Amino acid sequence: PEELIRTGNEERQEVAKDKLKRTTPHKGSIMVTIRTREGLCIQKKGLDYQGLKTLVEKLEGLC
């Protein structure tokens, strides 16, 4: 089964439903680098969504 999808310029494209999959980053594919004006550098690699969320919560606690 196919469905019609409107694009931003109002053209219609036929797209198979099985091709409409949400793209999510692979586990461990997020890297965050934070640099301050004072020269402090915080870098975390290989984060997944939950790891990123935890890092943000910890950084919020420092503020």
Enumerate the domain spans of the chain.
Answer: 25-63
Nearest to 48 by CA among 25, 14, 16, 19: 25
Q: What is the pLDDT of residues 38-59, one digit of tens each?
A: 999 989 999 999 999 999 999 9
**Residue of 24 and 41 predicted with greater confidence:** 41
Q: Which pair of structure tokens corresponds to residue 32?
A: 């965050």
For residues 46 and 31, the answer to whether their CB atoms sit within 8 Å is: yes
Give the pLDDT confidence score for residue 63 in this predicted structure: 78
- Can you read off the two tokens belonging to residue 34? 């934070």
DSSP track, 35-52: E-TTS-EEEEEEE-HHHH
Q: Give the contacts of 12 (CB within 8 A, at least 6 positions apart).
A: 4, 5, 6
